[in-house]
Structure 1
Amino acid sequence: MGELLDPAVAVLLTVECQQGVVGPGSALPELAEEVRSSGVLGNVARLVAAAHETGVQVVHAVAERRPDGRGANRNARLFRAAERLPVRQLTGTGAVRVAPPIEVAEEDLVVRRLHGLSPLAGTDVDALLRNLGCRTLIVTGVSANVAVPNAVFDAVNLGYTVVVPGDAIAGVPADYTPAMIRHTLALVATVATTDEVLGCLGRPRRRS
């Protein structure tokens, strides 16, 4: 796997690791609790920190909507349900800021989308990746139910090699994520652990 994670050709993508999704005031408290209690958010933060230290480009994909909803999808139950949630991912609010302990460095790219399910389809991410010379995309974040598999499939369809640190993605219920990784993502991506990715990037493993 080491050859895939050459800093010159690898990019780390965080998916919807934003306050209104994984933070304490999440619109999706079950998902937020799973992300935090499982250590997934901490693992994403470790990967981002290692990327900053080793020169791997970081891209943060954030989902948001305008207060008037203009341009947003309404063609699925998920979108309609999101409109009724007490916390909404509105442009310019704290809900769409990347959540601690993930640190956003000056050189990071933050790509915001107002529609759809995928961090790649219909956004600037693909063009940015190509301009960066990316060949391998490391996908982290949430959720394993929707946005993460969308990101993986779209990246593979666009010609990128994908690495998924399985302990740096989460969905609900908790037992869904490992099943989805085993039966779906493992068919199209290289599945690893956070420690394995850190090892390839030259970072020491976390002490137990």
Structure 2
Amino acid sequence: MDRTAVLVMEMQRGVVGDLTKFPDLVAVCQRRDVVDNAASVLQAARAAGLPVIHCTAAFRPDRAGSHTRNSPFITALLKDPGHMLEGTPAVEVLPELLADADLESRRHHGFSPFTGTSLDMTLRSLSVSHVVAVGLSLNLGITGLALEAVNLGYRVTVVTDAVAGVPDGYALAVLKYTIGLLATRVSAAELVEQWKAGDAR
């Protein structure tokens, strides 16, 4: 059975919400209606009986379990001792994207939602073989998600207007030239119509 699940990558208050430290990313998301498009995909997924899994990131205050110096980006982020701390509002999923039945997969290091987490086992326990990706960002997270999912044997779809990166021109090039080699690309409206028609594969 080819069951589908939606993976929501880092749509958290401290990434793209009211507590963000990434104003350029927020601006791109607002111009491209990324949050609204993601919300429409999640609503349609739940209506079709498909699992929704929020792939979130957080750090412990003591940084235990996190590699803190193996990436220039993470090193820069963690200069702020309060960045995305476990148990703070910044790590919460955007409320407009969250429903009670949704699942969460939390990671404390790296850029992919699969490495060092239970996400693969969760998907397999749900008999999922196809993942649909929305969220952030095309610079790292969505690209890492798609690449690892393919390596693990999943079929991948990326919702083109429910993802973003910075700068926007670069992100669109990644969507075309990198994601296009790994995943099917579809708009939120196209996917919603497909699921409403009863094709939730």
Bucket of the pairwise TM-score, normalised by the shorter protein:
over 0.9
Equivalents in 1 of 2:135, 2:65: separation in Å?
A: 24
Equivalent residue letter for 1:11: A
Contact 2:15 2:21 (8 Å CA) reproduced: yes
Task: Provide the residue aligned with 2:144 in structure 1.
Answer: 150
1:53-86 Cα deviation digits (max 9, x unpaired): 1101000000000011112112110110111248
Q: How does 1:117-136 map to 2 (within 5 A)?
A: 117-136=111-130
Task: Detail structure 1 runs of 4+ shifted over 3 Å in the superposition.
Answer: none
Task: Provide the residue aligned with 1:95 in structure 2.
Answer: 90
Q: TM-score, normalised by structure 1?
A: 0.90
Q: Verify: 1:34 aligned to 2:51, yes or no.
A: no
Q: Verify: 1:59 aligned to 2:53, yes or no.
A: yes
**Among the aligned pairs, what percent are the same residue?**
37
The Cα of 1:87 is off from its aligned counterpart by 5.8
Evaluate the alpha carbon distance shift between residue 37 and residue 101 of structure 1 in structure 2; reply closer, same or farther with a 3 A threshold. farther
**What is the number of equivalent residue pairs in this alignment?**
196
Equivalents in 2 of 1:144, 1:100: separation in Å?
A: 22
1:21-56 Cα deviation digits (max 9, x unpaired): 001220211112211232011111111111111101
Equivalent of 1:139 in 121, 133, 142:
133
Contact 1:117 1:147 (8 Å CA) reproduced: yes
Equivalents in 2 of 1:87, 1:118: separation in Å?
A: 22
Could you say what secondary structure the match of 1:175 adopts?
Answer: helix
1:77-126 Cα deviation digits (max 9, x unpaired): 01101112486111011001111421x22221111111111011111110
Equivalent residue letter for 1:67: P
Equivalent of 2:108 in 96, 106, 114:
114
Q: TM-score, normalised by structure 2?
A: 0.93
Coordinate RMSD, CA, aligned: 1.5
Contact 1:63 1:96 (8 Å CA) reproduced: yes
Equivalent of 1:70 in 61, 64, 68:
64
Task: Provide the residue aligned with 2:17 in structure 1.
Answer: 23
Task: Provide the residue aligned with 1:202 in structure 2.
Answer: 196
Could you say what secondary structure the match of 1:159 adopts?
Answer: coil
Bigger mean CA offset, 58-67 vs 76-85: 76-85
Could you say what secondary structure the match of 1:167 adopts?
Answer: strand
Unaligned runs of 5+ in 2: none
Evaluate the alpha carbon distance shift between residue 85 and residue 174 of structure 1 in structure 2; reply closer, same or farther with a 3 A threshold. farther
Contact 2:7 2:134 (8 Å CA) reproduced: yes
Contact 1:137 1:161 (8 Å CA) reproduced: yes
Evaluate the alpha carbon distance shift between residue 87 and residue 144 of structure 1 in structure 2; reply closer, same or farther with a 3 A threshold. farther
